Structure 1
């Protein structure tokens, strides 16, 4: 499965976030928050009004995550708080793997920086980043030379539109494939297999309109592993 096919699979999986026993302002707020995501937000009430304000996440196969509204908002305010095992963590993990639409360069850069910063803080594992072209990588050279000078194993992927820039601390993977030309990805694999402690995460998107990107991010270890396996299998050769 190509990177584009992986994105298409996420896109086809529409989810429904149902808000129970809360005011219309909560539903409207969540619709605004997830307006660029492939998720439908609806409002419902229980007959008894119990157990208070809560929400569920579901798809065609049924409900697979739930939490109370207050916990969900707490988690939205600080994503790092939900790295432990709790219900809000489950809901946000599933929402992470919904498609986002027409993200600008600024939002893509901000999301990429979060993953790069995580790799820096963890200080081990591997970081894989797709820049589309070498000229784009050239503008990020100082940052990636710094990351590569840490214990993190850094790999950069690009289509060679210019001569490769001088570099010493990371591995460069060159290919003229349409996949690399159209894909923006930043993938961190900390090398930990235990799901409860792993810091694995990934951003994967494709450019469907000029400088507008469609894709998803994920904290799911199996999805991160799949992306890394694909990159290593398809582009395992070093710079040419």
Structure 2
């Protein structure tokens, strides 16, 4: 399956978010407006908390989280791999395990990229695949992947469109290609280091300059499909 095909299939997922709280979580519907998520509010007695959020995928219960954690998780601060992470953001991301979550906000996509990179760093083994639409984007992140290159048990494959005439990054394999899907799709994929629970991927297609349609997923089958495509095609 191509990268574009994986995005289209994942965006077809039906994800429901139920907010059980004394008052509606007014900002949540706006935040999810461009995503494949239906948000509903059900009044819940005031017990001194903000209530909780329940996530269902195709009608199946996936988990619950306090409203306060969701609110914090939706505005994460991007960090470099290995730095201290926002636990609220991680809990929010884990709530969607097994589902694909659509997003178009560049800041959210960047934060999710950092979360996937951080997961690979914490696991410390397996393979991380990262695509760069332009050589300048990879050059700007060189120091990040130099750190990854020092991890002996973690393989890193970087894909860059067009020419790449910079010095090699030690411990990292760089694939240079003129394939148009690499120039059009931003992706970061971690194949889990031998564990389905750790598999995760983000893919986002740039449909206008600086504007994306993307998804992230923890569905092991979808992650396997993407990694198989990358290995076969490049």
Q: The TM-score by the shorter chain falls in which range?
A: 0.7 to 0.9
Where 2:133 maps in the other structure, the secondary structure is strand
Cα 1:213–1:122 shift into 2, 3 Å: same
Q: What does 1:148-159 correspond to in 2, within 5 Å?
A: 148-151=149-152, 152-159=154-161
1:93 match = 97
Is 1:133 matched with 2:134? yes
- Contact kept? 1:130, 1:184, Cα under 8 Å: yes
Aligned to 1:41: 39
> Structure 1 CA distance, aligned partners of 2:4 and 2:231?
16
Q: Mark the CA change 1:55 to 1:160 in structure 2 (over 3 Å): closer, same or farther.
A: closer
**Structure 1 residues 108 and 80, CA, compared in 2 at 3 Å: closer, same or farther?**
closer
* Whole-angstrom CA distance in 2 between matches of 1:221 and 1:58: 15
Give the Cα–Cα distance (whole angstroms) in 1 for the partners of residues 90 and 149 of structure 2.
25
1:160 aligns with 2:162: yes
Instruction: Note closer, same or farther for the CA distance 1:113–1:75 as it changes in structure 2 (3 Å cut).
Output: same
Please, which runs of 5 or more residues in structure 1 have no aligned partner? Answer: 47-51, 84-88, 236-240
Give the equivalent residue in structure 1 for 2:47.
none
Q: Under a length normalisation based on structure 2, what TM-score does the superposition of the two structures give?
A: 0.76
Distance in 2 (alpha carbons) for counterparts of 1:136 and 1:3: 19
> Cα deviations across residues 59-96 of structure 1 (Å, max 9, x unaligned)?
4xxx212656xx3536635244479xxxxx6x6335x5
Compute the RMSD of aligned alpha carbons. 2.9
Aligned-partner Cα distance in 1 for 2:232–2:63? 39
What secondary structure is seen at the aligned counterpart in 2 of 1:25? coil
Q: Aligned equivalents of 2:136 and 2:31: distance in 1?
A: 34
For 1:145 and 1:55, the matched residues in 2 are separated by 39
Contact 2:22–2:43 (8 Å) recurs in 1: no
Structure 2 CA distance for aligned equivalents of residues 175 and 54 of structure 1: 43
Greater C-alpha Rg:
1
Cα 1:13–1:201 shift into 2, 3 Å = closer
Correspondent of 1:182 among 169, 184, 193: 184
CA contact (8 A) 1:37 1:100 kept: yes
Q: Report the alpha carbon displacement of residue 44 of structure 1 after superposing the two structures with TM.
A: 5.3
